[in-house]
Amino acid sequence: MNKYLVFIISLIFLNVCNEQQQQPIIKAQPTQETLRLDDTISIVAVGDVMIGSSYPSPSMLAPDSGRKIFDNLISILQNADITVGNLEGCILNGGTPKKKCPPPGKCYIFRMPILSAEILKNAGFDFMNIANNHVGDFGNEGITSTINALESIGIKFSGIAEYPYQIIEVKGKKISFAGFSNNQYTLKMNDYEKCTQIIKEMKANSDIAVVSFHGGGEGESYRHITKEYEMFLGSNRGNPYKFARIMIDAGADLVIGHSPHVTRAVDIYKNKFIAYSLGNFATYKQFNLKGSSSNGDFISADVTSIVQKNFGVPFIDSTNRAYKEIISLTKEDIGDPDLIFENNTIKPKGK
């Protein structure tokens, strides 16, 4: 008998913020009348992850090398079939930076120790997007070390030419994940023809296709979706609105955005869910803390707010201010989307 396969989506949206600002966790639930748990694939998706950098100084590392940085959210990270994030930096012991950087505060270089891969695995991560502006901070040496570290611990990844996508098998289904950005060493999200080709290949080889992208400008001034190409520090950071729709037209079932370090609007297109930016998740110190038929249609999401404290450690919060911000941003930037916001949930209209 054919099963109707959907996502239970947990999307963790985080802002550039101080310790008083709130940020949401979105936990999706299936419709009980029509779905059973064995008919679903649950995915927890979080934003930028950088759990402490040994560059420029070991003092930038989190206490105990970051082993406890996820403790406050471990039950959420491990409560899914697949947990994914954006790895903002390379995993490397030693090495010489290849990125040319002005004084600290204007430019950042990230180097997480090899131990970080084990910490990510123990927290529950299964896939990391490595397509972003920090994967190449230490050049090919850093990229190779990152690949080796993730592979040795069993975490899948994608976002560079050699690894355009990877597949995770869950409950007899194949879920593929691709990563794109517009930075050196990565697959370029502005190359729509190439991106479309990759998505079509993913759909031919898997049941569900998930796209992670690192695009758009950075900071508070880029909180809103412009629906145009966004320039930042002299580079074209892409048009997230257009990119997401092209990916769904090509066959993607879920599109997850990163880069701005702030929460952005959410959207639904052809019954597929889009998050334009999940913001920061765990960004220690150096970030500014201001056979069966398959279907990836969005069902619903519960929202719980969180806050970053102690230089970038995530904590759960109950005030739900970030949920209200998502509502406001979505209505301002998308207009009247086919989504219903009520009682800390997000649902498609008609569900």
What residues have CB less than 8 Å from 49, skipping those under 6 apart? 85, 86, 87, 88, 120, 125, 128, 281, 282, 283
- Beta strands 280-283 and 301-309 are unpaired
Output the CA–CA distances (angstroms, integers) from residue 45 to 86, 208, 236, in the order listed: 9, 15, 25
- Beta strands 272-275 and 266-269 are antiparallel
* Structural domains in the chain plus CATH codes: 6-348 (3.60.21.10)
Six-digit token pair at 187? 């697959």
Contact 51/122 with Cβ under 8 angstroms? no
pLDDT grade for 96, boundaries at 50, 70 and 90: confident
Nearest to 12 by CA among 28, 25, 29: 25
Q: ∠241-80-35 over CA atoms, to 5°?
A: 85
Q: How far apart are CA 242 and CA 125, in angstroms?
A: 29
Q: ∠261-264-267 over CA atoms, to 5°?
A: 140
Contact 312/287 with Cβ under 8 angstroms? yes
Contact 237/230 with Cβ under 8 angstroms? yes
What mean pLDDT is reported for the chain? Answer: 81
Q: What is the mean pLDDT of residues 104-117?
A: 81
The SS3 assignment for 111 reads strand
Q: What is the mean pLDDT of residues 287-308?
A: 57
323 vs 255 pLDDT, higher one? 255
Summarised one tens digit per residue, pLDDT across range 29-81 is 444 434 445 567 778 888 888 887 777 778 777 767 678 888 888 888 888 88
Q: What is the mean pLDDT of residues 284-290?
A: 38
234 vs 280 pLDDT, higher one? 234
Q: How far apart are CA 206 and CA 41, in angstroms?
A: 14
Nearest to 13 by CA among 292, 234, 223, 310: 223
Q: How much is the pLDDT for 101?
A: 74
Amino acid at 75: S
Q: What is the mean pLDDT of residues 214-236?
A: 91
What residues have CB less than 8 Å from 234, skipping those under 6 apart? none
pLDDT grade for 322, boundaries at 50, 70 and 90: confident
Least confident of 145-149, 226-230, 302-306: 302-306
pLDDT grade for 293, boundaries at 50, 70 and 90: very low
Write phi, then psi, for 178 (nearest 5 degrees): -120, 150
pLDDT grade for 106, boundaries at 50, 70 and 90: low
Q: How much is the pLDDT for 159?
A: 96
DSSP summary character for residue 61: B
Strands (E), 76-143: 82-87, 90-91, 111-112, 127-129
Least confident of 16-25, 127-136, 203-212: 16-25
Six-digit token pair at 322? 């970030």
Summarised one tens digit per residue, pLDDT across range 165-174 is 999 998 888 9
Q: Which residues of 162-195 are buried (b: 16+ CB within 10 A; e: fewer)?
A: ebbbbbbebeebebbbbbbbbbebbbbbbebeeb
pTM: 0.84
